Amino acid sequence: MATADPLLRVDNLEVNFGAVRALKGVSLDVREGEVIALVGANGAGKSTTLRSISGLARAKSGTVTFAGTVINKRTAPQIVRLGIAHSPEGRRLFGGLSVAENLRLGACTRSDPDGVARDTEKMFVLFPILRERWKQLAGTLSGGEQQQLALARALMAAPRLLLLDEPSLGVAPLLVRHIFDALAELKRQGMTMLLVEQNIALALELADRAYVLRTGKVALSGIASELRVDDRVAQAYLGAAE
């Protein structure tokens, strides 16, 4: 199924938290321009997978290869510079900093002020609310606004690959639609994304392909549109609860 040279290849990744094996050999790949969904029950290892790609968690074994470079020994800031931006679970904004300052830090690895200015304008098109809230402290935004800022902050790094962890979490239903519209627009523009999402229906609607994780392993993978009607996806969820 994998063609030559995917943008990101995760190979047999194992991660331990103390005595707990969080990932037991996860393999997946993401090709340029693809949107990949990573779904599964709580504790299946979705966030851990993203965290070990972006350098927050250290793998015990296995490799992560990005654009031909093995990155799983690199630090998180180095990985950002290579072109992977991670919008983490819980958003992790700098609440005491303004919207403007958060976005500026999102671009802190870049040295092209013109490009940064252009991308900031793009963010205003994608998330108009950010222009209104420009001087406001991030901590005072609503959940949905914070999520938009978190996405924008990650995008300001001008990544080649965007890792998204639960963009719908803590967001009012109406705004969830809005956020996924923005993600669809990003997809149309050619952004490569690896998306972790509890809301399977939304995730599979947006994604090209999907991997279903279950207790630290890939239980199932395939074309998103096919998985949408596959009973085994639901079983993977229920099975994880045993």
Partner 1 sequence: MSQLEYIIQQIINAVSLGSLYALVAVGLSIVFGVLKLTNFAHGDVMMVGAFTTVLLIGIGMPFAPAMLCGILASAVAGFLIERIAYRPIRNAPDVTRLLTSLAVTYILENLGILLFTSSPRNFPLPDILNTSWQLSGGAITFTNINVLTVALTFVSLIGLGWFITRTTIGLGMRAAAEDMQAAQLVGLNVNKVIIIAFIVASAYAGLAGVLWAAQAGVVQPQMGFTPLLKAFVAAIIGGFGSISGALLGGYMLGALEIFIVAFMPDVVVPYRDAIVFALLIAFLLFRPGGLMQPNREIKL
Residue numbers of the site for partner 1 (CB under 8 A)? 54-56, 75-77, 80-81, 86, 88, 92-97, 101, 104-106, 108-109, 153-154, 157
Whether residue 151 contacts residue 127, with contact meaning beta carbons closer than 8 Å, is answered with yes
Nearer to partner 1, 150 or 219 (CB): 150
Q: Is 57 helix (H, G, I), strand (E, B) or coil?
A: coil
Shortest Å, Cβ 141 to partner 1? 15
Distance CA 149, CA 126 (A): 11
Nearer to partner 1, 88 or 144 (CB): 88
Per DSSP, 5 falls in state: -
Nearer to partner 1, 163 or 212 (CB): 163
Distance CA 25, CA 18 (A): 17
Nearer to partner 1, 40 or 88 (CB): 88
Distance CA 5, CA 14 (A): 22
Shortest Å, Cβ 88 to partner 1? 6
Nearer to partner 1, 6 or 88 (CB): 88
Shortest Å, Cβ 58 to partner 1? 13
Name the strands in the sheet holding 35-40, side by side, starting at the edge strand that comes first in the sequence: 84-87, 161-165, 192-196, 35-40, 209-214, 217-223
Shortest Å, Cβ 98 to partner 1? 9
Helix (H) or strand (E) holding 119: helix 113-126
Shortest Å, Cβ 103 to partner 1? 10
